[in-house]
Chain A
Amino acid sequence: MTETSSGPPSFEIFHARKAGNGFFEWVATVDHKRIGILYLLTAFFFFGVGGLEALVMRLQLARPNNTLLSPDAYNQLFTMHGTTMIFLVVMPTLIGLANYFVPLMIGARDMAFPRLNAMGYWFLPFGGLLLHFSFLAGGAPSVGWFSYAPLSETPFASSPGVDYWILALFALGIGSISASINLIATVLALRAPGMSIRRLPLFVWMVFVNSFLLILALPALNAAIIMLFIDRQLDAHFFLPTHGGSALLWQHFFWTFGHPEVYIMVLPAFGIISEVIPVFARKPIFGYEFVAGSTVAIAILSFGVWAHHMFAVGLGQPMNLFFAASSMMIAVPTGVKVFNWSATLWGGSIRLTTSMLFAVAFLLQFTLGGLSGITFAVVPIDWQVTDTYYLVAHFHYVLFGGSLFGVFAGIYYWFPKMSGRLLSESVGRIHFWLTVIGFNMAFFVQHFLGLMGMTRRVYTYPDLPGWGLLNLISTVGAFLLGFSVLVLVWNIVVSLRRGAAAGDNPWNAWTLEWATSSPPVEQNFDRLPPIRGRRPLWDLAHPENQDEPETSLEKNEGNRINKNQVSMMCFIASEAFFFIMLLIAYIFYNFSQHPNPGAQLLNPLRTGIFTLCLLASSFTYWRAEKRLESQDPTGFLFWLAATLVLGAVFLTGQGLEYFELFQKGLRAGTDLFSASFFMVTGLHGLHVLIGLAGLFIVLAMALAGDFKAGKIAAVKTMGLYWHFVDVVWIAVFTTIYLVGLWT
């Protein structure tokens, strides 16, 4: 932990782990710090890609009636820009920072599941490649980042761009969900003694809440893109109104994910701001409980406001009214946060470091973006300005002026910890001012353009009074912004080579990551300071003036809950949401048709018998667990094998049913019943198959003698999944065969 005065060698950031530093060590790493850096570097690369796409678009828009880009090229660019910035830049940056700092801030050795962590990261470049491969495969997607159906359906988007978009989002979703589950398990199971949940640093708390938001919101996107994929690949018509499908359902499903996604991209940035502002105002955060509690309120409310993206669709007066109200309400907890940050600044002895400058700019710009957001909750205003540049300005104020400014604040704040060297403050200031000026130039004028009626996603515009000038200002601002990124790169490269040594705690901060060396040793901490409050390093330095009185000492032993089971529960929650979305789709397509077309084709009695097999397999698995608990390995093996056989019988039954339906000429593309039936039962069957694979692994472990020592966590965890698959089938069977056929 000792720091030499000469500072660490150049590019220490790449030496976070002492054992080897070759290419292979980085590819094969499972160290959360290295994975965090990989996330950040990959995201930064895509930031460059998405930024260049934006600059080309701004060049095209620099003057009226410009012909630099064809309409189709422009469409591809704005689609790729949006998708890249959201899924390949903002999300991975925030996950990367969380990856690096959550374990450090709670005094843990690593993430709960290091290898899962590496897998989650590698889905990021994989997804990025898939998305960009579309350029080689006949054209990038050109239907906007929300891919509204029916525009995204084959008749209107025949190139495979949308298919690559779907696959990329699916791959990235797997990565995000695994990272989220990992973070939840880490926070719940690996906190150091004394680090109670009530003492979590706010960044950790917000990442924690955000992880739940991710695992619950992404399934809605997954369900929607799977349906779109079935439409495009198997000729179904889920979203094609010409064949009885519903384009509106796509919008509902997409925004069920899409609105929480907005908060997914901003909550961790809130967390960064909540760390940076107190440290540089030299005051503890004002109203910790309110900042933490309002995060939960935002997360929950974010699920109940998506319809405000659809005011222009014509949902009807009552719908508009309720969602206008709920959308305005979400401004309350967000406002609470802004007040708390401002009150933290109030009367503090403020150090305007570059990090703090970005944090303060975040406050102002995010508030502006939030205010223009509230105007969208007013239905008539929404009708007027939706899909104009006013909207573009609004969400860039939230996502760039908010999220990315938060990320910049975090980079300047944590770079010394990651590299052992300080970023240059003077270059940092240049970077900051260029960014602020460029950003506001580029986007503030767009408010006016939108109010003047310029719609988004048009590749050019007529020479109306004022439009050319405002667009030119915006383009110049965008290029300033692009230049500012180069300044940041320069600052990072130069500081890595010649930056001043940071020492353990250059900012005199209070959270645990500053208690170890910079960069941290491989095991993170050689010795943890005692944790007696929310600011352990403050307590350490000021024993006479601790945050929490000695008497209220919370005794808190380290390990709390089983990380395997808690992560399986999270996975199950995510999967449950996925199946809920699928069943909603099934009900939507089938319950309003009388008579139900499936009624003549399905055989509820026979499927009922196979259902009993599946239910019995839950019972046999429970018996197997009991046998294992009472140390009866033979009985355990018997019941486990019985479970496997019953599961296989169920799958055989499903195969039989499919075979008969195929014989009758039913295909996914036949009608909406067949499409939704095959989708729901097929995806459930896939889960049974995965469950069977899991059971085989348990069987193999049992035969290898893994459970002799009474280590039954794996068995119990697998059991949770298996019972879940059965419960899902009960819901599917009830919906399709019981209620569906008899109403």
Chain B
Amino acid sequence: MDMTTGQFLSSGWNWNPLVVAACFVTAYLYGLACHWKFRRKSFFFLAGLVVFFLALASPLDLLARGVLFSAHMFQHLLLVLIVPPLLLLGLPVLGDHIHIRGGVLPWGSHPLVAWFSGVGAMWFWHVPAFCNAAATNGPAHALQTLSLLFLGALFWQPLVGPRMEQRLSPLVGIPYLFSACIACSLLGIWISFAPLGVCPVFMNPVDKLDLLPMIRGWGVTPAADQQIGGLLMWVPACLVYLGAILGLLGRFYRRPEKEMEKKNAWRK
């Protein structure tokens, strides 16, 4: 019997023990690290964990695994654009009272490496073969998730990372974000306009749970599905970058320029 949307939303949760455990362990470690003293920042960290959990345990994940391309794209964007910056924002600024050795790899702090990590993560996982694999194969999906989180963290580290001295000056951060927005728009435009089958598996979904009748009932055809996927990467993803740019401007107008000029990347 076909599932109704309501049934799907209530029963489509997947309590993957690894995801649940990852959430709890991370939260526990975070608590330990800041001596269970929660500050405003901690909400960012918790929000990051919640989004992480929703992306991987909610019905979204079920759809992303080979059923709905747009769901895959939404999950992809959450993991690379939302979770990493939230977690990073939640970390205490280094030199505060805890020390995270290295944070991320030392070479990862170079803005060019960081930029290509973030943009590369978007492009790499939409090469048809890789996209297919991640949607159908469990280990490949796990690998995708981990790499998105890691590369996303690399990308956001120069902007919201815990090490102040590694952060880009706001006026350099704006082109950094804007060019990333262009790069991911181009991918989104390609997906939106390309012939059907950017990620071929979604053309003929492996529909073990018989979800397709419900989805077609929403009015989502495979063509619309791919277009929505592309548009998600094109428009809302850029809004995330734009939001970050506005955040940087806010920071720019709050901080004395002296500090910024010292780190101005234009100057050798």
Task: Give the B-binding residues of A (Cβ under 8 A).
Answer: 196-198, 289, 292-293, 296-297, 300-301, 303-304, 316-319, 322-323, 325-326, 329, 552, 554-556, 560-562, 566, 580, 584, 587-588, 591-592
A197-B257, A554-B256 are contacts. A318–B224 as well, Cβ < 8 Å? yes
Give A301 to B245 CA distance when docked, in angstroms: 12
Q: Which of A304, A317, A329, A566 contacts B266 (CB 8 A)?
A: A566
What would be 21 A-B contacts, judged by CB atoms less than 8 Å apart? A196-B257, A197-B171, A198-B257, A289-B249, A289-B253, A292-B249, A293-B246, A296-B245, A297-B245, A303-B185, A304-B234, A304-B235, A316-B227, A318-B227, A319-B192, A319-B231, A554-B258, A555-B258, A560-B261, A560-B267, A592-B195
- Report yes or no: B224 in contact with A326, Cβ–Cβ below 8 A: no
Question: B201 an interface residue at 8 Å Cβ cutoff?
Answer: no
- CB-CB under 8 A from A552, the residues of chain B are 256
Nearest to A566 among chain B residues (CB) is: B266
Q: How far is the CA of A555 from the CA of B261 in the complex (A)?
A: 10
Q: List 8 additional contacts besides A323-B235, A325-B235, A554-B257; criterion CB under 8 Å.
A: A198-B252, A293-B253, A296-B246, A316-B224, A319-B231, A326-B239, A588-B193, A591-B194
Does B174 sit at the interface, judged by CB under 8 A? yes
Asked if A301 meets B235 with Cβ closer than 8 Å, knowing A198-B257, A293-B249, A561-B266, the reply is: no
Contacts of A584 in B (CB 8 A): 186, 189
Bound-complex Cα distance A293 to B242 (A): 11
A interface: dominant SS: helix
B:222-268 near A, CB below 8 Å = 223-224, 227-228, 231, 234-236, 238-239, 242, 245-246, 249-250, 252-253, 256-258, 261, 264, 266-267
Are A301 and B224 CB-contacts (below 8 A) given A289-B253, A561-B266?
no
Of chain A, the residue at the smallest CB distance from B236 is A322
Partner of B181 from the list A197, A300, A580 (CB cut-off 8 Å) is A300
Give the interface residue-count category, chain B.
35 or more
For the complex of A and B, 7 pairs with smallest distance between CB atoms: A322-B231, A289-B253, A318-B227, A293-B249, A561-B266, A196-B257, A318-B228
Q: How far is the CA of A325 from the CA of B232 in the complex (A)?
A: 12
Closest Cβ of chain B to A710, distance in Å, is 14
Which residue on chain A has the smallest CB distance to residue B171?
Answer: A197
Residues in chain A near residue B245, CB distance under 8 A:
296-297, 300
- List B contacts of A316 (CB < 8 A): 223-224, 227
Q: Does A322 contact B235, Cβ atoms closer than 8 Å?
A: yes
Q: Find chain B residues with CB under 8 A from A591 CB.
A: 194
Q: Is B178 an interface residue (CB 8 A)?
A: yes
Cα A584 to Cα B193 in complex, Å, equals 11
Give which listed residue, B186, B193, B246, contacts A297 with CB less than 8 A: B246
A197 to B236, CA, bound (A): 30
A564 to B196, CA, bound (A): 46
Contact B242 A297 (CB under 8 A): yes
Task: Specify which chain A residues have a CB less than 8 angstroms from the CB of B194 in the assembled complex.
Answer: 591-592
Closest B residue to A199 by beta carbon equals B257
Using CB atoms and an 8 Å cutoff, list the residues of chain B in contact with chain A. Answer: 171, 174, 178, 181-182, 185-186, 189-190, 192-195, 223-224, 227-228, 231, 234-236, 238-239, 242, 245-246, 249-250, 252-253, 256-258, 261, 264, 266-267
Chain B residues closer than 8 Å to A319, beta-carbon distance: 192, 227, 231
Q: Judging by beta carbons under 8 Å apart, are A293 and B250 in contact? A: yes
The answer, among B186, B235, B264, for a CB contact under 8 Å with A326, is: B235
- Shortest A212–chain B CB gap in Å is 9
Q: Give the docked Cα–Cα distance between A317 and B228 (Å).
A: 9
User: Assuming the A-B contacts A297-B242, A300-B242, A566-B266, are A318 and B231 also in contact, with contact meaning beta carbons closer than 8 angstroms in the complex?
Assistant: yes
* Nearest-CB residue, chain B, relative to A329: B239
Residues of A within 8 Å of B238, CB to CB, are 300, 304
Whether B257 lies near A296 (C-beta < 8 A) is no
Min CB distance B180 to A, Å, is: 12
Q: Which residues of A contact B257 (CB under 8 A)?
A: 196-198, 554, 556
A300–B253 CB distance below 8 A: no
Query: Provided the pairs A300-B178, A300-B242, A554-B257 are in contact, do residues A580 and B224 lie with their beta carbons within 8 angstroms?
Result: no
How far, in Å, is B203 (CB) from chain A's closest CB? 16
On whether the beta carbons of B174 and A296 are closer than 8 Å, the reply is: yes
Chain A residues with CB under 8 Å of B171's CB are 197
Counting chain A CB atoms within 10 Å of each CB, which of B235, B245, B246, B250 scores highest? B235
B171, B189, B192, B264: which has the most chain A beta carbons within 10 Å?
B192
* Beta-carbon nearest neighbor of B247 in chain A: A293
Cα distance A301–B238 in the bound complex, in angstroms: 9
Residues in A neighbouring B223, C-beta threshold 8 A? 316
**Contacts A296-B174, A317-B224; A301 near B267 (Cβ below 8 A):** no
Chain A nearest CB, measured from B235 CB (Å): 5
CA–CA, A319 to B174, complex, Å?
27
CA distance A319 to B239 in the complex (A): 16
Contacts of A588 in B (CB 8 A): 193
- B residues in contact with A566, CB < 8 Å: 266
A566 to B171, CA, bound (A): 14
Across the interface, do B250 and A289 meet the contact criterion of CB distance under 8 Å? yes
Chain A nearest Cβ from B48, distance in angstroms: 25
Chain A residues with CB below 8 A from B181, complex form? 300
- Chain B neighbourhood of A304, CB < 8 A: 185, 234-235, 238
B111 to chain A, nearest CB (A): 15
Report Cα–Cα, A257/B213, bound state, in Å.
Answer: 42
Residues from chain A with a CB closer than 8 A to the CB of B264 are 560-561
Interchain nearest-CB distance for B259 vs A (Å) = 10
Count chain B CB atoms within 10 A of each CB in A318, A587, A591 and give the residue with the most.
Answer: A318
Chain A residues with CB under 8 Å of B193's CB are: 588
- Min distance, Cβ B140 to any Cβ of chain A, angstroms: 22
A300 to chain B, nearest CB (A): 5
Q: Are B267 and A561 in contact (CB under 8 A)?
A: yes
Within the complex, what minimum Cβ distance (angstroms) separates A614 from chain B?
Answer: 22
- Determine how close the nearest CB of chain B comes to the CB of A166; give it in whole angstroms: 25
Collect the chain B residues with CB atoms within 8 Å of residue A326's CB: 235, 239
Rounded to whole Å, the gap between the CB of A730 and the closest CB of chain B is 14
Q: Are B246 and A580 in contact (CB under 8 A)?
A: no
